[in-house]
């Protein structure tokens, strides 16, 4: 009986040593959770034995329990590196088409694969949700593989331009009928913006402002577009002012308090189409026109200032950078200036983390003991926040592990000594004559 008790002690000590050694070996594994070997005594008795004098039968391993407290942070320069500050797990799947077959992980080291999906070092797909671009709300909690397209959007021709401007009241008045965009002496101020045609080709559009001397508090604006051949005038179809060169512009009259009175006589400000203006479109739609909407322009005794100059055109955008906010929203910035929310990182938790089954690779799968997976979003309910550019290190306390290693070694030596003593007693008995 003594042999079996000592052997069980040696086995338990070996299990403790193995567990501690595995913890130490994974001290630099991102998202790793330490394990702890837990033991129980073996006690057996029967109706034919005296319970008061019955000794234990040794020790057995009850469970190797993982400890899911958080590890420390390590900061990186990769925006796709993430850590969860609080409870929850990332979900990853081996197959992008079968997200229901997934594993849970705290290792947030992700990158883009050749197809621009977010994957981990095992090429497993990070799962998340679709997000409504207008409301920034998750539209469905059905998980799917998250993808970051390297280009975004079809080219969009510029059609509407929003302008907010202050024209200086103390500017020198000129004869607007003499306006010539090639002669700076014939206008007071100018500003330009890039516009696009139906193919996404860029053009420079310039607005010239002239304080007209034919009436007090009157300004005239003219427009030009620069193509491959140079700068060309673009007329306003119902413009109220025509220069000596035939360039039709927009008349803006202001009140004595600097507020606008009338713009283009109250008529819409629409330019001729680009074909009429002689713009070289290189295959683009030459029927394109521009509509200007002035947002409460002013004439104050202040410097010339463009408060707003927005146009609705766009060329094809190429991926410039990716950011992930604390809610897990993946926001991609493209070269055409578009900021697009592509999705939201999915978060999972279970009622009993100790019931998760480890599958290696710092991953776990849900089981009956853990309870069913609960899906949600970062910062919502019991889920923690996501920190981009940060990874969670293992939660190993190296000092404690080394102490545990010494303790396990001493237990092993003590049980080995007990086995040796039991063997000596058996030898003594066998040698009696």
Distance of CA 339 to the CA centre of its chain: 11
* pLDDT value for 92: 97
C-alpha–C-alpha distance, residues 353 and 358, integer Å: 11
Question: What's the pLDDT at 44?
Answer: 65
Mean pLDDT of 174-178: 93
For 70-93, write each residue's pLDDT tens digit.
999 999 989 999 999 999 999 999
**285 touches 275 (CB < 8 A):** no
Query: All domains of the chain, ordered by start, with CATH?
Result: 2-69+394-430 (no CATH), 73-152+318-392 (no CATH), 160-311 (2.60.98.20)
Task: Note the pLDDT tens digit of each residue in 257-312.
Answer: 999 999 999 999 999 999 999 999 999 999 999 999 999 999 999 999 999 999 99
Q: Could you give the 3-state DSSP secondary structure of residue 228?
A: coil
Question: Which single residue is written with the structure tokens 């680009």?
Answer: 274
Secondary structure class of 188 (helix, strand, coil): coil
Return the SS3 of 186.
helix
Report field, pTM of the whole predicted structure over 0.85: no
Percent of the chain with pLDDT over 90: 72
The dihedral built from the CA positions of residue 253, 254, 255 and 256, taken in this order, carries a sign that is negative
420 or 130: which carries more pLDDT confidence?
130
**Would the pLDDT of 111 be above 60?**
yes
């Amino acid at each position: 009986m003594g042999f079996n008790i000592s052997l069980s002690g040696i086995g338990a000590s070996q299990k403790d040593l193995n567990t501690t050694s595995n913890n130490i070996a994974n001290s630099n594994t991102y998202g790793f959770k330490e394990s702890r070997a837990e033991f129980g005594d073996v006690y057996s008795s029967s109706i034919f034995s005296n319970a008061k004098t019955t000794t234990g039968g040794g020790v057995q391993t009850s469970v190797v329990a993982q400890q899911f407290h958080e590890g420390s942070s390590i900061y990186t320069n990769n925006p796709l590196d993430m850590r969860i500050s609080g409870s929850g797990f990332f979900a990853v799947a081996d197959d992008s088409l079968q997200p229901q077959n997934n594993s849970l992980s705290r290792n947030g080291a992700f990158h883009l694969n050749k197809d621009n999906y977010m994957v981990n070092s095992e090429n497993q797909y990070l799962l998340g949700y679709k997000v409504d671009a207008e409301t920034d709300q998750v539209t469905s909690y059905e998980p799917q593989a998250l993808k970051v397209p390297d280009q975004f959007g079809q080219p969009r021709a510029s059609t509407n331009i929003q302008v907010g401007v202050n024209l200086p009241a103390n500017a020198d008045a000129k004869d607007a009928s003499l306006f010539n965009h090639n002669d700076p002496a014939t206008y007071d101020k100018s500003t330009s913006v890039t516009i696009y045609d139906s193919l996404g080709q860029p053009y420079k559009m310039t607005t010239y402002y002239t304080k007209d001397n034919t009436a007090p508090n009157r300004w005239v604006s003219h427009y030009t577009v620069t193509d491959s051949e140079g700068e060309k005038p673009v007329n306003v179809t119902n413009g109220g002012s025509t220069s000596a060169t035939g360039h039709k512009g927009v008349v803006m009259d202001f009140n004595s308090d600097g507020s606008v009175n009338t713009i283009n006589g109250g008529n819409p400000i629409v330019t001729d189409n680009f074909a009429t203006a002689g713009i070289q479109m290189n295959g683009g739609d030459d029927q394109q026109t521009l509509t200007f909407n002035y947002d409460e322009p002013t004439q104050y005794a202040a410097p010339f200032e463009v408060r707003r100059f927005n146009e609705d055109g766009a060329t094809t955008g190429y991926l410039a950078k990716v950011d992930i906010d604390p809610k897990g929203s993946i926001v991609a910035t493209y070269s055409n200036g578009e900021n697009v929310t592509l999705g939201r990182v999915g978060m999972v938790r279970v009622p009993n983390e100790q019931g998760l089954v480890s599958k290696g690779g710092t991953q776990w799968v849900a089981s009956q003991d853990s309870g069913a997976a609960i899906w949600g979003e970062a910062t919502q309910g019991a889920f923690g926040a996501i920190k981009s550019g940060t990874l969670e290190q293992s939660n190993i306390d190296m000092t404690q592990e080394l102490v545990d290693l010494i303790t396990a070694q001493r237990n092993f030596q003590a049980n080995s000594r007990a086995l040796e003593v039991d063997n000596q007693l058996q030898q003594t008995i066998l040698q009696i004559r």
